Amino acid sequence: MFTLPEIAGDPSRLTRRLMRIDGSDVIFRPLTHADPELLASFLAGLSPESRRLSTFDGYDLATARELCDAIARYDKLRLVLEEVPAGRIVGLLELSLDLHPHDVVRFREAGIQLSATDGRFGPTLADDYQGKGVGTQILPLIADVARGFGKRRIILLGGVLADNARAIRYYRKNGFQAVGSFAGTNGVRSLDMILDLDLPSGQ
Ligand SMILES: CC(C)(COP(=O)(O)OP(=O)(O)OC[C@H]1O[C@@H](n2cnc3c(N)ncnc32)[C@H](O)[C@@H]1OP(=O)(O)O)[C@@H](O)C(=O)NCCC(=O)NCCS
């Protein structure tokens, strides 16, 4: 089983090359301490709509530095998609290895007992990479990483906004099941979804 310090020390263990996307080679790899500038460009390039659908604390170099400083310091693994050799980050994939107490309560109310073998997933692709099957291509890689950390199910980090039709379609077609809905602090409705990594659709 992997640990976060091991992956931080040897990111190549989780590095995979994807097939060419839109004529560019893309690799899937852990975020590293060398990434603040590349990550800042990715965050800064997200459209207002992408920022609404997938919210970060900020979209600048300071935020990117914080995310890179956080590597192996908390129970969260961040992976990126990088165009090579251009060196442009075109996706940020977050895998949280722990649960938020609010998640545990909501899922329990829906009849699902979450445990230490459940992780949380949140994907964000650059605007020009959305809607081209890239998210579907990387989901088996995410599932493998999650299994490597001892996870058997994945829920969504913060849920998915109920009006995010593309993401909901994406999750459903890749084996996630809707569990229920909840209103966030801003009153906006989101859905909880869960993927069972032991089922064939989660591979
Ligand atoms: C959500 C996200 C990761 C999905 O990855 P992706 O590569 O775009 O997804 P895919 O192309 O593999 O699949 C999208 C599916 O939704 C469909 N779709 C596209 N736009 C849609 C829309 N407006 N309504 C419904 N379905 C839509 C696509 O046709 C495709 O389904 P199909 O293969 O059956 O035709 C990506 O779109 C993204 O980063 N979006 C912005 C941030 C975000 O919403 N993150 C999720 C936060 S919970």
Ligand 1 atom index nearest CA of 53: 44
What's the pLDDT score for residue 203? 44
Ligand 1 atom index nearest CA of 91: 39
pTM: 0.96
Of all protein residues, the one whose alpha carbon is nearest to atom 18 of ligand 1 is 166
As a whole number of angstroms, the distance between CA 62 and CA 66 comes to: 6
132 C-alpha to ligand 1 centroid (Å): 8
Report whether 107 contacts 113 (CB < 8 A): yes
Contact partners, residue 3, CB within 8 Å, separation at least 6: none
DSSP code at position 2: -
Q: What is the CATH number of domain 4-202?
A: 3.40.630.30
160 C-alpha to ligand 1 centroid (Å): 12
Of all protein residues, the one whose alpha carbon is nearest to atom 36 of ligand 1 is 130
What tens-digit pLDDT sequence spans the chain (203 residues)?
899 999 999 999 999 999 777 778 999 999 999 999 999 999 999 999 999 999 999 999 999 999 999 999 999 999 999 999 889 999 999 999 999 999 999 999 999 999 999 999 999 999 999 999 999 999 999 999 999 999 999 999 999 999 999 999 999 999 999 999 999 878 899 999 999 999 876 44
Nearest to 103 by CA among 94, 112, 95: 112
Tokens 């299994």 sit on residue: 147
164 C-alpha to ligand 1 centroid (Å): 9
What's the pLDDT score for residue 201? 61
88 C-alpha to ligand 1 centroid (Å): 21
What's the pLDDT score for residue 48? 98
